[in-house]
Amino acid sequence: MIHAGSIALVYCLHGDEILGKDIARRIKKEFPEIEILEGNPRAIKNKKRFMKKDLNRIFPGKIDGDYEEKLAHDLKRRLKRFDYVIDIHTTTTVSEPFLIMTKKTAGIKELVDAFPLKDVVFMNDDIAKSKALIDHVKCGVSVEFTKGITLDSAYETIKETIENICSKKKVEEKRYYEIIKIIEKAKDLDFISGIRNFELIGKDTVIAQSRDVVLISKEEFYPVFYGQKSFFGFLCMKARLIEGDIYDC
Ligand SMILES: [Zn+2]
């Protein structure tokens, strides 16, 4: 039996993703032994993603850096002793909630398998640059709660995950996607309403448009974070489905 005291929950690395704060509050009542860490207090107070630098793009941080660099350094230090780290995010895109992982270790597999979620996105070093929190803990994944999710449903997902970690229960059915690249878009281009995250887009499909310009897919791919509002100049991430075993272990 794994003890819940070996699990840490991090919320609001991005200060405007406040659903995580409400989830964390309820989780703390249910599992008092779990460590709960708030990501970016000043950004939460100011209702912003970050103050000066995106906290989840600057790990491991700096002891004598600016506000966010110091936060990253401190979070890394405080998370050192935990076996599992769950990092809660929200996105403005539409899909089922999904997971993000950046390493393919046995521990990550255990953690991913504990989530009652199907879609798992692997970001390699070319994309993630090893600057996210989950790159700097023993074993961490990020969960992205999507547009329209209720607090009850998000809370149940995390609660069930913690119970599964502790009892080593696996939720086997998973679909793994690997991010190939980030597709940018000019700011006057609009999203296309029929495009769904994690649903295959064919070659030569219109993926963004303005009155006189269209952006066409050059090959088939799965979109991830399509429709995201907070990334300027960003259309989506382009992913492929991974067949077979993804893990190194
Ligand atoms: Zn986030």
Find the 17 Cα to ligand 1 centroid distance in Å.
6
3-class secondary structure for the chain?
A: CCCHHHEEEEECCCCCCCHHHHHHHHHHHHCCCCEEEECCHHHHHCCCCCCCCCHHHCCCCCCCCCHHHHHHHHHHHHHCCCCEEEEEEECCCCCCCEEEECCCCHHHHHHHHHCCCCEEEECCHHHHCCCCHHHHCCCEEEEEECCCCCHHHHHHHHHHHHHHHHHCCCCCCCEEEEEEEEEECCCCCEECCCCCCCCCECCCCEEEECCCCEEECCCCEEEECCCCCCCCCEEEEEEEECCCCCCCC
Q: How far is the CA of 95 from the centre of ligand 1 (A)?
A: 15
Q: Ligand 1 centre and the CA of 210: distance in Å?
A: 28
Q: How far apart are CA 164 and CA 86, in angstroms?
A: 13
Ligand 1 centroid from CA 16, angstroms: 8
Give helix 19-30 / helix 151-167 axis angle, nearest 10°: 50
Q: Give residue 217 CA to ligand 1 midpoint distance, Å.
A: 27
How far does the centroid of ligand 1 lie from the alpha carbon of residue 91, in Å?
A: 7
What was the pLDDT predicted at 76?
A: 98
Q: Which residues of the chain have pLDDT under 50?
A: none
CA of 13 to the centre of ligand 1 (A): 6
| pLDDT score at 125 | 85
pLDDT digits (tens, 9 = 90+) for 174-202: 999 999 999 998 888 999 999 999 999 99
Distance 1 CA to ligand 1 centre (A): 31
> How confident is the model at residue 249, as a pLDDT?
72
The CA 199 to ligand 1 mean position distance, Å, reads 22
Q: Say how many Å lie between the CA of residue 201 and the centre of ligand 1.
A: 25
Rounded distance from Cα 116 to ligand 1 centre (Å): 20
Q: Which domains does the chain have, with CATH numbers?
A: 4-173 (3.40.630.10), 177-241 (2.40.50)
Q: What is the pLDDT of residue 84?
A: 97
pLDDT in tens, 98-139: 999 999 999 999 999 999 999 999 998 888 789 999 999 999
